[in-house]
Every structure is written in C-alpha cells, then in structure tokens.
Amino acid sequence: MSEVTAQRGSVALVTGAAGGIGGAVVRALAEQGTAVAAVDRDEGALHRCVAELSGSGLPVTACPADVTDADEVEAAVAAAEERLGPVEYLVNAAGLLRMGPVRGLSPGDWAEMFAVNAAGVFHVSRAVVDRMVPRGRGAVVTVASNAAATPRAGMAGYAASKAAATMFTKSLGLEVARHGIRCNVVAPGSTETPMLWSMWTDDSGRARTLDGSAADFRVGIPLGRTARPEDVAAAVLFLLSEQARHITLHDLTVDGGASLGA
C-alpha cells in the first residue's frame, strides 16, 4: 500500500497553526515534505512553533493573520503563494470554544464563535479556492466537530458554528468539484488540546469525558480514550492525499465512537 501523504514539494496553508490540532497538522504535513504556510492570529505562539519546526529542518513559514478579517486573510494567502508557490492544500483548523447554556450565553460569545469557526472558514476558503480554480486542482479539509451533528448541553453556540462550517465546506465542494477541487470535513471529538482541558472544571473532568454523563446526555467514549492531536491530523492527511482522490463532500468523524456514528 502506498504511503498516505500529500505530494512532496507541494504547498499547504493551515489555520489555527500555533498549537492543538492545527499544530499537529502543520508538523505532519511538513514531515512528509510539504511546505506549510502556518496561519494564526497569536503571532507570538505562531513564531515560537514555526521556529521550533524550522529549527528541525521542516519547511514551515509563519503567515500571521486573524481569520475573522477578510483583508488580513487575503494578504496572508497572497504572501504564502509569493513565498512558497501555489497552495494546493488548505486545512481550516482555527477554532474557538465558549461554553455556556443558551440562556446564559452572551451575544458577544456567540458572535465571536461564529466569526472564527464559520466566517473564518468562509474567508480563508474563498481566498484559497479563488486561486485553486484557475489551476484546476486542490484539496480543502475543514476541522469541525462531532458536536456539529450531535447536540451537546452547554455547547450550543460552538455546535451551531461548527455545523455552519461543515455545511459551508460541503456546499463549496459541490460548487468546485468540476474544477478538480475536493472539499471534506474532519469532525473530532474530545482531543487532548487546551480547548478540551478548558472544559474540565475539576479532577473529575477526564472521567466524565471517558465514561459519559447522564445529566449532560453524553454517552462517553466507547474506545475508552481521548484522541491525540496526531490522531486527527492523520485523518486530515488522508483526506488531502491521493488515496482520497475520489472522496469529496465527506464528513469523517474521529471521536472514538462518542457520537455513536452520527
């Protein structure tokens, strides 16, 4: 069986690149020979991550930008192509979580989640796909969430914004399939990142995640473990690879069975 890898010598742009799942995707792509334009709005964290990776000889370039700002996104994509060449792969991994029940969720928290999780995917995807279309090739993967298809108490804003990103990506994929561009979604569940850890208010948090919580209508994780960022990155790389060349408009759930296949 051939290696699951993006084409060596190609160029990828990854948002949310300063850590978590985005950081794992950047590393995985770079280790397979793909030049990566790493995008994040936290410039300090981004430059630290890029310095570490490039210091190990990996082809990673920092392109700071706030995905909620269409002008910043356009400038970052233009800079990435000028410095690295045509972007063939896009991974939308930037994400924001604000917990809270619907009646207690502030309008600001709701707006900020949609600005990053939904509008950010729109801004970046449009800027990159506009350049892919004339070239007749490309692959896009949006990192959404299993919460986009499975209701979660206290996560309505996050779930709704990820559902929006999911359907946007699939609709985009339908429009650009004729141009040889594939658009897919990876939907992680509980993954060992600062986002997950922020949801644990005490020492029982991990147990509730693994075992479930009847009060929150959560069934737990059948595989009995949380994901590592590398687990999600592996799914992203598969969908970018030639092994997935006939897959588009697909939603690949990576959650250890937590959403029971939803």
- Whether pTM > 0.85 for this model: the answer is yes
Sign of the dihedral defined by the CA atoms of residues 231, 244, 179, 149, in that order? negative
Domain definitions of the chain by residue range? 11-253
Set 110, 114, 158, 168: catalytic member: 158
Nearest in space to 253 (alpha carbons), one of 208, 223, 217: 223
**What architecture is domain 11-253?**
3-Layer(aba) Sandwich (3.40)
118 to 112, 162, 230: CA distances (angstroms): 10, 7, 23
Stretch 246-250: mean pLDDT:
98
Which pairing describes strands 181-188 and 251-254: parallel, antiparallel, or unpaired?
parallel
Nearest in space to 13 (alpha carbons), one of 28, 32, 31, 26: 26
State the burial class of residue 180 (Cβ atoms within 10 Å of its Cβ: 0-12, 13-18, 19+).
middle
pLDDT of residue 261: 85
pLDDT of residue 2: 45
Q: Give tens-digit pLDDT for 1-56.
A: 345 665 666 999 999 999 999 999 999 999 999 999 999 999 999 999 999 999 99
pLDDT of residue 192: 79
How is residue 20 written in tokens?
A: 């978590």
Which of helix, strand or coil describes residue 1? Answer: coil
Active-site residue, 158 included: yes
Q: Give tens-digit pLDDT for 95-139.
A: 999 999 999 999 999 999 999 999 999 999 999 999 999 999 999
